[in-house]
Amino acid sequence: MKFCSQCFNDTDIKSIIETINNQDICDITGTSSAHIYDTDKHKLLTGNFELLLNTYTPISELGDKFDKANAVKLKYDLSGGSWDIFNPVCKHTDVYNILKNVCSEKYNEARELFDEDVIIQEVYDVAYNKEHSLLKNYTWEDFTYSLKHNNRFHSSHLNLKILEKICATSINKHKKGEKFYRGRISQQDALPKEEMGAPPIPLTADGRVNSAGIQCLYLSSDIKTTINEVRAGIFDYITVGTFELLEDITVVDFRIVNKISPFIFDANGLDLTEYVINRHFLNKINDEMGKSIRKNDSKLDYVPTQYICDYIKSICDKKSLTPQYMGVEYNSTLCNEGYNLAIFKPELFECVDTKVYQVKSLEYNTKPKIT
């Protein structure tokens, strides 16, 4: 079988195919490409897919131990189910044929894996979850209630070793000289550059990432996102400061924490099954990091993400014992095009310029409340 990188959404698989020099026509898209994977010639993807397939068990092997209502065909789970590996250009029959030809030996040995409904047993294994799940056998609601109303600083609900592994798979590196932005409501005259940074310690309030009294520099990726994040009123003036990074840094990127490729689990300590059982918690963390807090909401709503970010801040390199991560990134719910960056050490950035903008109009998008 012959297929091209356009048959996949997964960036790791796409990059592997694009290293192959083989001019031919894709069986699925019908287009010609200089990088065609031919299963009769190439075996580069076999190991990757077999590792993923090994996490599944056909229902015929389960007996009565599991609720088979949760089982699903492999071709469905890998294309829009648990994973988003294949481009929609691939029909489910195409996905089946790709799997069958890429993993031909496995297909001949265990055809039931490809033809029957399958399940990942560990997702429903209490003992496995206690050791390998981010929240052990607790729910997200158990975790947040405990932090808010029982023990603010020491949670027995969170598996910190798993969190550290997850962080190692979800990093982004920024180079010295990169620019980010921060806005403040002002008058017509721009605020001075020295007033555009993180608030002084006595004025530092609770935020998404920091507790009151702990400085954190909140930046945005572009000016439009910055202005939206300020939440100014009509005709308000906003001073936007341009901040330049003074040294290379590594941050944890919550934008990708729930979108990790299933084909990278040969490093960083986190295995594929651990990632599978934690994906719903990672989705929740990603949602909570980007959630817009309304003025009347309780500051306690910040506590879960503050707790997680405080631990990330404490992770040190095993050799140098220096902090491994200088901040976290997360999506902006106020501007779909941009993202936010929270820096643990404000001195890593310098405000190099300021410019004033005025809000000329506002647009409200609403939807009826569902009752």
What is the C-alpha separation between 165 and 277, in angstroms, rounded? 14
pLDDT of residue 271: 82
SS3 21: coil
Residue 265: predicted pLDDT = 66
**pLDDT tens digits, one per residue of 218-242:** 999 999 999 989 988 889 999 999 9
Q: Which domains does the chain have, with CATH numbers?
A: 2-119 (no CATH), 166-358 (3.90.175)
pLDDT at residue 268 in the model:
57
CA distances from 224 to 163, 267, 334, 339, 362 (A): 32, 37, 10, 10, 13
SS (H, E, C) 233-296: CCCCEEEEEEEEECCCEEEEECCCCCCCCCCCCCCCCCCHHHHHHHHHHHHHHHHHHHCCCCCC
> Which regions in the chain score pLDDT beneath 70?
65, 265-268, 293-295, 364, 370-371
Q: DSSP of 137-153, one letter per residue? A: T--HHHHHHHHHHT-SS
pTM attached to this predicted model: 0.85
Whole-number pLDDT of residue 370: 67
SS3 category, 305: helix
**269-328: per-residue pLDDT in tens?**
778 888 888 888 888 888 888 777 666 778 898 999 999 999 999 999 888 899 999 999
Compute the distance between CA of residue 309 and CA of residue 329 in angstroms, rounded to an integer.
11
State the pLDDT at residue 354.
96
